[in-house]
Amino acid sequence: MADLPSRVDIHEEGPREGFQIEPGPIPTADKIALIEALAETGLRHIQICSFVNPRLVPGWADAEAVAGGFRPKEGVHYTALWFNENGLNRALAFADRLTLGGSISLAASNAFSIKNLNRPHAENLEAMRKQTAVHQKHGIKVTRVGVMAAFGCNYQGDITPAQIVQTVADGLAIAAEAGETITDVSLADTMGWATPIRIERGVAAVRERWPELNIGLHLHDTRGLAVANAHAGLRLGVTRFDSTAGGLGGCPFAGQKGAAGNIATEELALLCEEMGIDTGIDLDALIEVGRMAERIVGHALPSELLRAGSLDAFRRKAA
């Protein structure tokens, strides 16, 4: 049996991912209530909103109201997402309550870059150079390289470990030119192409080249393999995972409506806790918040665990 880490950091992205994809309007008060409930479960990292163009993403037209409206809990890091200087400026207005960090976001698939970012990889590198300069201008450290479509792409097909490594190298070069130090790399299975073997090979290739970098995984459950992929990451010592309560989010890239989104936070937490890996999370409380998220969005979420309940709940009854 492989050595598993003793603890992991789970970064909850349910509010940000979930509320941008839901078709109907979600009341601001409900968004705030979910964020505050999540903070009571032991989660220490919560991405609360996206400062994006409200005409393109109407679900986040109330980003300011959410970012300014929730009651922060001590010890919890609240983060947000932005894609340009305008978004960053909006986030900076909440610098007293948000943890703001800069990222260099690239895609390992050129076809995905074109389809999703509207620019080929080479142009995206140039855009990331400019965005890094913007971050520096505002005193935001750039510490993270994100690689989208790291394990495969609906528009390009398979992605090799060498392509992941090249993409990370491209991001590190931008940071180095700007004098920034990258500490974290996030590999995203944006369209659900990962398998345990692809995770092993991709993570191993990045780690072999840059043993000093922390590697995180952003997994989607598009084809039901997210938990197996998380387990493969854990076995390689990965200790940072993004996830969403209940599996909030859906996948806009899967090519079919209704496809699952991120790995569900509570299923990831169950996997970890039942194997002796500390997440800091009260799983029964988190399951209740997942059910609350279902009530807020008005439909069932993909997480099976929400329906079945935790094992501890049954252990208490059986004892």
Residues identified as active-site: 251
Q: Is the dihedral of CA 209, 212, 218, 221 positive or negative?
A: positive
Q: In the set 46, 67, 217, 232, which binds a second copy (CB under 8 A)?
A: 232
Q: In the set 30, 231, 252, 284, which binds a second copy (CB under 8 A)?
A: 231
Smaller CB separation from a second copy, 206 or 305: 305
Q: In the set 42, 72, 196, 280, which binds a second copy (CB under 8 A)?
A: 196
What secondary structure, in 3-state letters, does 164-220 show?
Answer: HHHHHHHHHHHHHHHCCCCCEEEEEECCCCCCHHHHHHHHHHHHHHCCCCEEEEEEE
Nearest residue to 175 (alpha-carbon basis) of 187, 164, 183, 163 = 183
Q: With CB under 8 A, what is the number of residues at the site for a second copy? A: 55
CA dist 199 → 136, 161, 191, 224, 297 (Å):
33, 9, 14, 15, 32
Smaller CB separation from a second copy, 54 or 309: 309
Q: Closest distance between a second copy and the C-beta of residue 276, in Å?
A: 8
Smaller CB separation from a second copy, 24 or 276: 276
**What is the Cα–Cα distance from 229 to 24, expressed in whole angstroms?**
32
Q: Closest distance between a second copy and the C-beta of residue 41, in Å?
A: 17
Q: Closest distance between a second copy and the C-beta of residue 310, in Å?
A: 8
208 binds a second copy (CB under 8 A): no
Q: Chain centroid to CA 83: how far?
A: 15
Question: Would you call 69 helix, strand, or coil by DSSP?
Answer: helix
Residues that bind a second copy (CB under 8 A): 1, 111, 152-158, 192-193, 195-198, 200, 221-225, 227-228, 230-232, 251, 254-260, 264, 267, 270-271, 274-276, 300, 302-305, 307-309, 311, 314-315, 317-319
